[in-house]
Chains A and B, each alone.
Chain A
């Protein structure tokens, strides 16, 4: 039997606001337990929520970026359940009128195919606190610092058909929220995590199979592995005549398996109803327009501009726009270097290789975009050759200064003085009579290849500083 996999993702993105969704407490990560849980976050008797304007605007930005409609009025609702990390006994979330509805995003698959994944909705909600199960004996310890932190939950349609597609979609959303600067997207700290609804069905069937929900996946790698494992598990069940049960499962990265979560799922009835402490949020056209104008260029638009206006290849444009940091780095370097193709080569080549080698993020680079731009500029204006440039790059990486400083200090200027080059060329010709004879006796179509030997020799004696175009030109004239 052949099966088709059907996946929908719910991605939770922590918004990069200063304060919480409904209180003025800080959202900073890593504070002492409960030091950032104010009376409102704690659900003290009598307290009331007031909505954070920036969180609303960030959700709208996301909606506009995925071509969704912005719901007005949008309504907050209470989701009622008891859990120690949920102080009020309800989570303020959204049900019927989420801020963002009916969007979509294009994802490029490995084979280059572009696939559109529909986004059902994205709603704002408050995060819960954190439970610590170890180290307190017979107790669980509760830290409510995270309680009330704004999240958007982005719910996709079940349009995803493989673990790889799921990862590609997740990466695309991750890149987008970082472009929009609405989240730091930090997966270790839980700012970006997802739940995957996975089901399988017989190939060709139009009905959905019973799904399992895998909770709290916090890496691109795990989303692939967890789904792959889950699909195998479900196929095994069906093949052996058993049924898939609808349940919540947890992915264990150490064992690379998913397992059923027993406790949380005893027939929940969340009794959603509109939160009477909050009024509906309305969006005027002017407000939406002003948010639209404040939005940065989005990755797809940037990619197209790189192709159309900078003349970069599709491949280069894809790579350079994969993350906002890289695109920014490139554009900043380009502003100095001016040669787009050459800058792109250096950013994706030498620069990324060096980062990878040392396992650094762009933000940690010892060679700033301005520095790299300065280097590319010197290649472009023939001050140094590409080969020397690599040497200069290494020196910059080691903190020896800017490209110009290094070129100056180490005397790496390319020799463009015709007289000096002529002397070098003459020396090489005189020292290699045999090769000269061979060159002169060979047919024209072979000469191009043989001249390489002389160029190499000249470059070697000049320690790479001679301008290769000039060397080439002089050699051709003199060897006629």
Chain B
């Protein structure tokens, strides 16, 4: 039962083969059984989950259900859930019970989904390994000595181990796609402005975007149908006509032009990973797609630009954590300055403090032009590169990450090496484009992710291409051993 996709579970709930209460119990038990090993969850919410499940069953009985009604899932602990701890992986928010629900939380609740917990993450979404969590690292279910990726590593690990059929994630520089790739699941980062950021604790506002982490592209489309759309509470949310993301899943992919940037297949990339990606692209070619070599000349600049823009916005976004109105406050502050400095130093972890300091520095007097403004200009160059590419091709493909999952603690003391692993994901955020990562085989017994990048609002095509791939391959059905009780 626990290996079913959302689409399958939806049918089973609908025809009465199983109830939401039964399903919720089943997944909750799996979470309880395996969380000690994987540490995917910061919080489990069995009581409210059972209540939602009972409500869902009542709706199903009355035939008032939607496609997602009654299906359990989990939220990344960055989404505010009213009355339920929302820590963002930080000691700073260890005691934080939001007085409101994020828009995404409200929307999935309205769709009848049953939230059974909040998943682990790098503190304030800063990281690529989920090792920067106050609650300890999450493990990769394919090899528990490896990281699950990050920052949405709790979500990717839990979905990969089938502790839950789907989860939400957020992606600022690859935080949905990279953990999806490293855990062998499907992760979609939508076009900036498609999914409301209201109630999603901000890391870097001009880059952050929430999205689904699922077993299949079809499931991602189902979640997108529930969470995408305009929100009056988010000024950067786009007013567009409603899109049904499932409509184009079965379109033919014949004649689709696929661009392969030479920078994504360079010598720095793990050869076994490249091999798997080339095999995957071969399948597209067999299905009638046209493969075209392209150039994204400024790819290498995306890391430096990103590591200026993101910390700059973060340093400002995280100023609100000052020990005054919510969150951690140090003991016995002697004066205001002491209250600020100690609350923040004790409440934030090392990576967060590092990025706050970088951000403060690049915005400070005398450095703004050389760093922040320069990065914003390079941001335009990167966006323009993509726009020229999309004149020749419909989508761009390559590996999601330069290598499969690395070992726990392997890069913890080398932040720059850790940052460089984001090379194929961050440029997408700088440009605000949509991209999906799907399972495309294994390298050294670890999952490899294929990234498909499209132009603005091309999610239906990305999902179509991913879905068609998943009709002819079974990588997305592979499940790690040891979680099959």
A contacting B, Cβ–Cβ less than 8 Å: yes
Our pick among B204, B236, B364 for the contact of A271 (Cβ within 8 Å) is B364
Whether B360 sits at the interface, judged by CB under 8 Å, is yes
Instruction: From the candidates A39, A49, A82, A140, name the one contacting B235 in the complex (CB within 8 A).
Output: A49
Nearest Cβ in chain B — how far from A46, in angstroms?
A: 4
Residues of chain B in range 193-212 having any CB-CB distance to chain A below 8 Å: 197-202, 204-206
Q: Which residues of A contact B372 (CB under 8 A)?
A: 273
Structural contact, A44 and B98, CB atoms closer than 8 A:
yes
Asked if B80 and A46 sit within 8 Å, CB to CB, the answer is: yes
CB distance from B89 to the nearest CB of A (A): 12
Contact A46 B201, CB 8 Å, known A39-B100, A276-B313: yes
Whether the pair A50, B235 counts as a contact (CB closer than 8 A) is: yes
For B327, the closest partner residue in chain A by CB is A45
Residue in contact with B316 in the complex, picked from A39, A78, A278, CB distance below 8 Å: A78
Q: Is the CB of B98 within 8 A of A48?
A: no
* B319 touches which of A51, A80, A84 (Cβ 8 Å): A80
A164 within 8 Å of B by Cβ?
Answer: no
Distance of A90 Cα from B319 Cα, bound (Å): 7
A47 lies within 8 A of B198 (CB): yes
| Among B79, B100, B197, contact of A44 (Cβ-Cβ < 8 Å) | B100
Question: Which of A45, A46, A89, A273 contacts B368, CB < 8 Å?
Answer: A273
* B326 and A45 form a contact (CB under 8 A): yes
**0/1 interface trace, chain B 171-206, chain A, CB 8 Å (1 if under):** 000000000000000000000000001111110111
User: CB < 8 Å: which of A42, A43, A48, A278 contacts B233?
Assistant: A48
Q: Please, which residues of chain A bring their CB within 8 A of the CB of B98? A: 44-46
- A80 cross-chain contacts in B, Cβ below 8 A: 315-316, 319, 363
Whether the Cβ atoms of A269 and B234 lie closer than 8 Å is no
Is residue B340 within 8 Å, beta carbon to beta carbon, of the partner chain? yes
Is the C-beta of A35 less than 8 angstroms from some C-beta in chain B? Answer: no
B232 part of interface (Cβ distance < 8 Å): yes
Inter-chain contacts of B49 with A (CB < 8 A): none
A45 x B324 contact (CB < 8 A): no
Interface residue A87 (Cβ < 8 Å from any Cβ of B): yes
User: CB-nearest residue of chain B relative to A51?
Assistant: B235
| Cβ B360 vs Cβ A45 within 8 A | no
**Are A48 and B322 in contact, CB atoms less than 8 angstroms apart?**
no
Is B88 part of the binding interface, using a Cβ–Cβ cutoff of 8 Å?
yes
The distance from the CB of A200 to the nearest CB of chain B, in whole angstroms, is 28
A400 within 8 A of B: no
Size of interface on B: residues with Cβ below 8 Å to A: 45
In the complex, A269 Cα to B368 Cα: how many Å?
Answer: 11
Query: Among the listed B198, B204, B325, B340, which residue makes an inter-chain contact with A46, where contact means beta carbons less than 8 Å apart?
Result: B198
Return chain B residues, CB-CB under 8 Å to A89: 316, 318-320, 322
Bound complex: CA of A49 vs CA of B93, how far in Å? Answer: 22
Instruction: Please give the distance in Å from A21's CB to the nearest CB on chain B.
Output: 12
Contacts of B322 in A (CB 8 A): 82, 84, 89
Interfacial residues of chain A within 152-210, with CB under 8 A of chain B in the complex: none
CB distance from B461 to the nearest CB of A (A): 26
Residue A88 at the chain B interface, CB threshold 8 Å: yes
CB nearest neighbor in B for A22: B235
Given the complex of chains A and B, what is the CA–CA distance between A393 and B79 in angstroms? 68
User: Is A279 part of the contact surface with B, judged by Cβ < 8 Å?
Assistant: yes
Whether, in the assembled complex, B482 has its beta carbon less than 8 Å from a beta carbon of chain A, the answer is no
Nearest A residue to B197, CB-CB = A48
Does chain B have a CB within 8 A of A277? Answer: yes
Give B106 Cβ to nearest chain A Cβ, in Å. 12
Also in contact, A46 and B316, with CB within 8 A (given A51-B235, A273-B363)? no
Which residues between 28 and 66 of chain A lie within 8 Å of chain B, taking CB atoms?
39, 42-51
Q: Are B232 and A50 in contact, with the CB atoms below 8 A? A: yes
Give the complex CA separation of A140 and B324 in angstroms.
11
Asked whether B198 lies within 8 Å of A48 as measured between CB atoms, the reply is yes
| Complex contact B235–A278 (CB within 8 A) | yes
Asked whether B312 lies within 8 Å of A87 as measured between CB atoms, the reply is no
Flag if B205 contacts A45 (CB, 8 Å).
Answer: no
B312: contacting residue among A42, A48, A90, A273, CB under 8 A: A273
Q: Please, how many angstroms separate the alpha-carbon atoms of A100 and B312 in the complex?
A: 28
Instruction: With a 10 A CB-CB cut-off, give which of B205, B319, B326, B365 has the most chain A CB atoms.
Output: B319
Point out the residues of chain B lying under 8 angstroms from A272, CB to CB: 363
Q: Tell me the residues in window 397-417 of chain A with beta carbons closer than 8 Å to chain B beta carbons.
A: none
Q: Is A97 an interface residue (CB 8 A)?
A: no
- CB of B370 closer than 8 Å to a CB of A: no
A45 touches B201 (CB 8 A): yes
**8 Å CB contact of A279 from B199, B202, B235:** B235
Within 8 Å of chain A (Cβ to Cβ): is B408? no
User: Does A142 belong to the interface (CB within 8 Å)?
Assistant: yes
For B79, B96, B199, which residue has the most chain A Cβ atoms within 10 angstroms? B199
* A142 pairs with B324, CB closer than 8 A: yes
Q: At the interface, yes or no: B267 with Cβ under 8 Å from chain A? A: no
Residues of chain A contacted by B93 (CB below 8 angstroms): 45
B325: A residues at CB distance < 8 A: 42-44, 87
Chain A residues contacting B96 (CB-CB under 8 Å) are 45
Which of B201, B320, B364: most chain A Cβ within 10 A?
B320
Given A45-B86, A87-B325, A271-B360, A277 contacting B236 (CB threshold 8 A): yes
Expressed in whole angstroms, the minimum distance between the Cβ of A264 and any Cβ of chain B is: 12
Chain A residues near B364 (CB, 8 Å)?
Answer: 269, 271
Report B283-317 CB contacts with A as 1/0, cut-off 8 Å.
Answer: 00000000000000000000000000000110110
- Closest chain-A Cβ to B308's Cβ sits at a distance in Å of 11
Tell me which residues across on chain B come within 8 A of A87, comparing CB atoms. 320, 324-325
A143 to chain B, nearest CB (A): 12
Let me know if A45 and B336 touch, CB within 8 A: no
Q: Does B102 contact A (CB under 8 A)?
A: yes
In the complex, which residue of chain B has the Cβ closest to the Cβ of A43?
B320
B204 touches A276 (CB 8 A): yes
Kindly name the residue among A42, A49, A82 whose own CB sees the greatest number of chain B CB atoms within 10 A. A82
Chain A nearest Cβ from B306, distance in angstroms: 14
B36 to chain A, nearest CB (A): 28
- Tell me the complex Cα distance, A443–B364, Å: 92
Task: Report whether A39 and B99 are in contact in the complex, using a CB–CB cutoff of 8 Å.
Answer: yes
Residues of the B chain whose Cβ atoms lie less than 8 Å from the Cβ of A47: 198-199
Task: Collect the chain A residues with CB atoms within 8 Å of residue B88's CB.
Answer: 45
Instruction: With a 10 A CB-CB cut-off, give which of A87, A142, A271, A278 has the most chain B CB atoms.
Output: A271
29 pairs from A and B in contact (CB 8 Å cutoff) = A39-B99, A42-B326, A43-B325, A44-B99, A44-B326, A45-B88, A45-B93, A45-B326, A46-B102, A46-B199, A49-B235, A50-B233, A80-B316, A80-B319, A84-B336, A87-B324, A87-B325, A89-B318, A89-B319, A89-B322, A269-B365, A271-B315, A271-B363, A273-B312, A273-B313, A276-B204, A276-B236, A277-B205, A277-B236
Closest 5 CB pairs of A and B: A89-B319, A271-B363, A276-B205, A276-B206, A43-B320
**Residues of chain A whose beta carbon lies under 8 Å from any beta carbon of chain B:** 39, 42-51, 78, 80, 82, 84, 87-90, 140, 142, 269, 271-273, 276-279
User: A90-B319, A271-B365, A273-B313 given. 15 additional CB < 8 A pairs?
Assistant: A45-B202, A46-B102, A46-B202, A48-B198, A48-B235, A50-B233, A80-B363, A88-B320, A89-B318, A90-B316, A271-B315, A271-B368, A272-B363, A276-B204, A277-B236
